[in-house]
Structure 1
Amino acid sequence: MKKKIVAYISLLIMTMIVMTACGGTKKSAKDEDEMVAMGPAFSADSAYAFCAKQCEFGPRTMNSEAHDQCAAWIVAQFQNYGMAVTEQRAVLKGFDGTPLRANNIIASYRPEQTDRILLCAHWDSRPWADNDPDEANHTKPVMAANDGASGVAVMLEIARLIHTAQDTLASFGIDFVCFDAEDWGTDGQNDSWALGAQYWAAQQKVQKEGGNYRYGILLDMVGGQGARFYRELFSRQYAPKVVNRVWKAAEVAGFGSFFPQQDGGMITDDHGPVNEVAGIPCIDIIPYYPDCVESSFGPTWHTVHDDMEHIDPTTLKAVGQTLVQVLYSEK
């Protein structure tokens, strides 16, 4: 994915921003302190296989055959797990004027339910490995095992679990949204990223005004080796209660070490238009590598090394089991 322009500030300044924007955040004893481990076991092996399958198509860059083939596979997988699937197609304009044949894939669990939760991730690949240490690779596409496939893989495994377990999630429905055209952006143009999410959010505002979603959770680069998921600051600004709930769920699920109670940065990502345009409180689960020389998003970000060799099943498990905990502890 692109991991958009990052504004990592000092911890003191970040804390002041959050306190100013949110008035501080308070934990809910009912929603958080009383949480106990719930839900089926998330299979890291299954999620890993879903990730690998997407990569078998090759880089899923916009307007490519691999992109179209992978889209058909994602649709079929969600349908196999009993989801009602809608393909939201649109021709969007890239920052360079390129027409992009975008396809947001929306898979709905219990579509008849008006009270819903949004899980989302982008599924396209960046067409240029422009952060690769070897300049000769800068015009090559990124495989996007982590920055693309990992988030979709976690969502597919959760859909499979819900379908297989047949446990009761009767009080709400779930929309799994795979955003397209996220990674066709350029530095200095924040609105050139997340084109698919921008389109989805605009349509959502017209159709539903965002009022039927309790909240949303965006998954971005959730399978990398050594990943730790610090609290993203736009998430804390727009949806502090959701941040608190998810980070507490990670602790209850046994993966608190992957979700430090520390702040990361402000990231331009798909959750931006979901919050600002659709009006849905949405957070971003995205890694932060504070000591990584290559990138604060990790050493493989926007390089040709974003491949399956650098995907860690344990990271997928940590994120996936945390989301299971969140969903199955909902009332």
Structure 2
Amino acid sequence: MKKSIFSLVLAFVVVAMACSCMSCKSSRKSATEPDTVALVGPTFCADSAYAFCAKQCSFGPRLMNTEAHDKCGEWIMKQFASYGMKVEAQDAELKAWDGTMLRSRNIWARFRPELTTRVLLCAHWDCRPWADNDPDSTNWRKPVMGANDGASGVAVMLELARIISNDSTLNIGVDFVCFDAEDYGVPQWSSAPDSQDSWALGAQYWAEHQPQGYEARYGVLLDMVGGEGAKFYQESVSKQYAAEIVNKVWRTASQIGYGSYFPMQEGGMITDDHVPVNEKAGIACIDIIPFYPDCQQSSFGPTWHTINDTMEHIDRATLKAVGQTMVQILYSEK
């Protein structure tokens, strides 16, 4: 997934964080620190989200044009349908960077489709075919299990769908979209010209082939939201297109006790599924994606595009922080 371009200010992140930690010793509350608020909506169950993540991995790597991919897609659709969602498959043949035709399936599950006030939640469900960022070069052509990079975002959405289906107090519609063919971008070992357009193929197709008249108040992309030690900095494309939504989500996380997971600092500029949602679909969409400023392996974390992206490195606490924040966001909408 995704190439990243980091802003110059990130060179000073470590220093800024150190200074911030020193200032935390003061017992006086910062004037800009959000006040705490009461939780609204149902409780997000991290154990359930973890189980949804593990179930996806049980199919094996969900690689394009494979049986594991197709079976997992059918399971995802059945899960959403079991929660009373209106579920649709958007199938397409998409051409990859190397000429391979990919049998792509975007999955769209709609909660209360009759309502016109809607929020879009999305994640990708396919896996990277090549562990091209693995520290061992002999693994570069092996598939990635995608426990975090793929399964975690879908797992959070499935748990959100489960709990809101059992609650009658949410008065807005929610669209859950699982994008396919996100992670088939040009590998680092290839001599082919790198291209941002080789990523997020499913999201590009979805953005260009929406039902006529579809509207969403805003969108939130959940990408790699279950990793150990994850912190979600404010992504730059998100701030460019949807600064108010970024502020809302990060403020809300702080207000309900998850501010340590959502630093009020800017991260990198990421090529991800939210780019076509913003630029082609015209829906203001943000990306909740981790940034590891001190990780030598990758700023996306030590397991990104490696054979180690497995369930052993999924953290229930991270799933909980993201999931409960999204519950608070949805149930705070008027």
TM-score above 0.5: yes
Deviation at 1:35, TM superposition (A): 5.2
Deviation at 1:248, TM superposition (A): 1.1
The answer on whether the counterparts of 1:185 and 1:192 sit within 8 Å (CA) in structure 2 is: yes
User: What is the letter of the counterpart of residue 170 of structure 2?
Assistant: L
The answer on whether the counterparts of 1:14 and 1:263 sit within 8 Å (CA) in structure 2 is: no
User: What is the letter of the counterpart of residue 121 of structure 1?
Assistant: A
Equivalent residue, structure 2, for 1:104: 106
State how far apart, in whole Å, the 2-side matches of 1:184 and 1:207 are. Answer: 28
Deviation at 1:33, TM superposition (A): 6.6
Identity %, equivalent residues: 66
User: What is the letter of the counterpart of residue 82 of structure 2?
Assistant: N
Corresponding residue SS for 2:120: strand
Equivalent residue, structure 1, for 2:209: 203
Equivalent residue, structure 1, for 2:3: 5
Deviation at 1:71, TM superposition (A): 0.4
Matched, 1:91 2:97: no
Deviation at 1:225, TM superposition (A): 0.3
Deviation at 1:34, TM superposition (A): 8.8
State how far apart, in whole Å, the 1-side matches of 2:94 and 2:83 are. Answer: 30
User: What is the letter of the counterpart of residue 47 of structure 2?
Assistant: D
The answer on whether the counterparts of 1:37 and 1:252 sit within 8 Å (CA) in structure 2 is: no
Equivalent residue, structure 1, for 2:320: 317
User: How do residues 255-270 of structure 1 correspond to structure 2 at under 5 angstroms?
Assistant: 255-270=258-273
Deviation at 1:254, TM superposition (A): 1.2
User: What is the letter of the counterpart of residue 321 of structure 1?
Assistant: Q
What is the root-mean-square deviation in Å for CA atoms of aligned residues?
1.6
The answer on whether the counterparts of 2:36 and 2:256 sit within 8 Å (CA) in structure 1 is: no
State how far apart, in whole Å, the 2-side matches of 1:85 and 1:179 are. Answer: 14
State how far apart, in whole Å, the 1-side matches of 2:308 and 2:12 are. Answer: 31
State how far apart, in whole Å, the 2-side matches of 1:213 and 1:35 are. Answer: 26
Equivalent residue, structure 2, for 1:180: 180
Equivalent residue, structure 2, for 1:26: none
Matched, 1:51 2:53: yes
Partner deviation per Cα, 1:14-67 (whole Å, 9 max, x = no partner): 99xxxxxxxxxxxxxxxx879542111110000000000000000000000000
State how far apart, in whole Å, the 2-side matches of 1:272 and 1:314 are. Answer: 28
State how far apart, in whole Å, the 2-side matches of 1:57 and 1:231 are. Answer: 33
Equivalent residue, structure 1, for 2:31: none
State how far apart, in whole Å, the 2-side matches of 1:191 and 1:113 are. Answer: 33
State how far apart, in whole Å, the 1-side matches of 2:328 and 2:115 are. Answer: 21
Deviation at 1:95, TM superposition (A): 0.6
Equivalent residue, structure 2, for 1:19: none
Select which of 241, 259, 266 maps to 2:244.
Answer: 241
User: How do residues 13-32 of structure 1 correspond to structure 2 at under 5 angstroms?
Assistant: none
User: How do residues 213-252 of structure 1 correspond to structure 2 at under 5 angstroms?
Assistant: 213-252=216-255
State how far apart, in whole Å, the 1-side matches of 2:292 and 2:232 are. Answer: 9
Normalized against structure 1, the TM-score is what?
0.90
The answer on whether the counterparts of 2:130 and 2:142 sit within 8 Å (CA) in structure 1 is: yes
Which segment drifts farther, 34-43 or 283-292?
34-43
Corresponding residue SS for 1:142: coil
Corresponding residue SS for 1:207: coil
Normalized against structure 2, the TM-score is what?
0.89
Unaligned runs of 5+ in 2: 14-33, 189-193
Deviation at 1:262, TM superposition (A): 0.3
State how far apart, in whole Å, the 2-side matches of 1:207 and 1:133 are. Answer: 46
Corresponding residue SS for 1:42: coil
Equivalent residue, structure 2, for 1:123: 125
Unaligned runs of 5+ in 1: 16-31
Deviation at 1:113, TM superposition (A): 1.2
State how far apart, in whole Å, the 2-side matches of 1:287 and 1:130 are. Answer: 19
The count of corresponding residues between Structure 1 and Structure 2 is 308
Deviation at 1:167, TM superposition (A): 3.0
Select which of 143, 146, 151 maps to 1:144.
Answer: 146
State how far apart, in whole Å, the 1-side matches of 2:74 and 2:261 are. Answer: 33
Corresponding residue SS for 1:86: strand
The answer on whether the counterparts of 1:104 and 1:177 sit within 8 Å (CA) in structure 2 is: yes
